[in-house]
Structure 1
Amino acid sequence: MKIKSYIKKPYPFYYEELKKVLFILCALALVSFLFTYLFEPFNVNVSEHRINSLWIVVLHSVIPIPIAFMYVFFLNKSVKNIENWTLGKEFLHLAVILFLIGLASFLIRDFIYTNPDNWSFRYLWEEIRNTFLVGSLLLIIILPLNLERLIYKHSTVLQKLPIQQQNTKEVNTIAQIQTPILEEKFELDIQTFLFAKVDGNYLEIFFSTSNGFEKYLKRLTLKEFDDQLNAFSFIFKVHRSYIVNLKAITSISGNAQGYVLNLKEYTQGTIPVSRSRIQEFNRIYSNRSK
Structure 2
Amino acid sequence: MLQLIKKTLLRPHPGYDNFSAYAVPSLGIAFIVFLILSILQPFDIGARNILGNPFLTASVYAAGSIITALINYTWIKFFPDFFKNENWNIGKEIFSLFYQLITISTAIWLINVVREISSPTVSGYYSMLLNVTSVAIFPYLTVLIVRNIYLFKKRSRKAAMMNINLFLNNKKSPDVSFSDMIDIDKFVEPVDMNKFLSAEEKDGYLVVKVARNEDVDELIVGSTLSEFEGGNSHFNQLFKCNNSIIVNINRVLWVEGNAAGYKLALHPKLPPVAVADDKRIKFKKLMEAI
TM-score range, shorter chain: 0.7 to 0.9
SS of the equivalent of 2:183 reads: strand
Aligned residues: 278
- Is this contact kept in 2: 1:56–1:112, CA < 8 A? no
- Is this contact kept in 2: 1:154–1:255, CA < 8 A? yes
Q: 1:191 to 1:88 in 2, by over 3 A?
A: same
The residue type paired with residue 140 of structure 1 is L
Offset of 1:127 from its aligned partner?
Answer: 0.5
Stretches of structure 2 lacking an aligned partner (at least 5 in a row): none
Q: 1:215 to 1:165 in 2, by over 3 A?
A: farther
Partners of 2:29 and 2:131 in 1: how far apart?
16
Partners of 1:215 and 1:286 in 2: how far apart?
30
Q: Which has the higher helix share?
A: 2
The aligned residue for residue 73 of structure 1 is 74
Offset of 1:237 from its aligned partner?
Answer: 2.1
Which protein has greater RCO, CA pairs closer than 8 Å, 6+ apart?
A: 2
| 1:170-181 matches, cutoff 5 A | 170-178=177-185
Q: 1:37 to 1:210 in 2, by over 3 A?
A: closer
- Is this contact kept in 1: 2:200–2:207, CA < 8 A? yes
The aligned residue for residue 233 of structure 1 is 236
Moved more, 251-260 or 53-62: 53-62
Q: Which has the higher strand share?
A: 1
| 1:140-179 matches, cutoff 5 A | 140-161=141-162, 162-164=165-167, 166=169, 168=175, 170-178=177-185
Partners of 1:270 and 1:114 in 2: how far apart?
54
The aligned residue for residue 3 of structure 1 is 5
| 1:110-121 matches, cutoff 5 A | 110-113=113-116, 118-121=119-122
Say yes or no: does 1:61 pair with 2:62.
yes
The aligned residue for residue 264 of structure 2 is 261
TM-score for both structures, normalised by structure 2: 0.82
Offset of 1:251 from its aligned partner?
Answer: 1.6
The aligned residue for residue 101 of structure 1 is 104
Offset of 1:273 from its aligned partner?
Answer: 2.0
Partners of 2:112 and 2:245 in 1: how far apart?
50
The aligned residue for residue 217 of structure 1 is 220
Moved more, 169-178 or 240-249: 169-178
Partners of 1:91 and 1:131 in 2: how far apart?
16
Partners of 2:167 and 2:117 in 1: how far apart?
72
The aligned residue for residue 92 of structure 1 is 95
- Is this contact kept in 2: 1:251–1:262, CA < 8 A? yes
Say yes or no: does 1:272 pair with 2:289.
no
The aligned residue for residue 255 of structure 2 is 252
Stretches of structure 1 lacking an aligned partner (at least 5 in a row): none
Moved more, 59-68 or 30-39: 30-39
Q: 1:207 to 1:41 in 2, by over 3 A?
A: same
Partners of 1:73 and 1:190 in 2: how far apart?
41
Partners of 1:91 and 1:32 in 2: how far apart?
18
SS of the equivalent of 1:191 reads: coil
- Is this contact kept in 1: 2:196–2:248, CA < 8 A? yes
Offset of 1:255 from its aligned partner?
Answer: 0.9
The residue type paired with residue 158 of structure 2 is V
Partners of 1:253 and 1:242 in 2: how far apart?
18
TM-score for both structures, normalised by structure 1: 0.82
Partners of 1:169 and 1:284 in 2: how far apart?
21
Partners of 2:249 and 2:202 in 1: how far apart?
21
Moved more, 59-68 or 229-238: 229-238
